Amino acid sequence: MRTCLFPGTFDPITLGHTDIIHRGLELFDRLVIGIGVNSSKTPMFALEERMSWIREMYKDDPRVEVASYSGLTVDFCRQLNARFILRGIRYVSDFEYEKAIADVNRTVAPEIETIFLTTVPQYSSIASTLVRDIYKYGGDVTPFLPQAVLEGIKRLKQ
């Protein structure tokens, strides 16, 4: 079974992320969406909310799992028996950053391969950071987020 980890903070998960997930499902038998807990970052949305949104989105697809982790991504891959890490690339600057991480990961864990997928052009400008700013200042985030997230943040506002 080809197991892949798609790591990130997913704060929140966007249509750009889901594009990578859907395309990754064509390549792997099992895709674990791993929400990394980073002590130096304070997320806008609680971990439980982010996990709930993702579970709702993929509740009908047994190939998709969601889990949280802290520590090294490669160590979490080993726990999952995942031989692949999936990363989305929007711009050349993303590639440079992601390649540096992939090179370090390959040195630490040569058995784990990083796979890069470029986003489709319509999602290349979507970044969780921008979406959070739009949301924070009362803008319309509808064009950027999956329905489960839109419903979730609507409930949060109530």
Q: Which residues are catalytic?
A: 17, 41, 90, 128
The CA distance from 31 to 24, in Å, is: 8
Sign of the Cα torsion 23, 90, 144, 40 reads positive
Residue 120 is given by DSSP the state P
The CA distance from 105 to 111, in Å, is: 10
The CA distance from 112 to 114, in Å, is: 7
Say how many C-beta atoms besides its own lie within 10 A of residue 75's C-beta: 13
The CA distance from 96 to 149, in Å, is: 30
Would you tell me the crossing angle of helices 92-108 and 73-80 to the nearest 10 degrees? 60
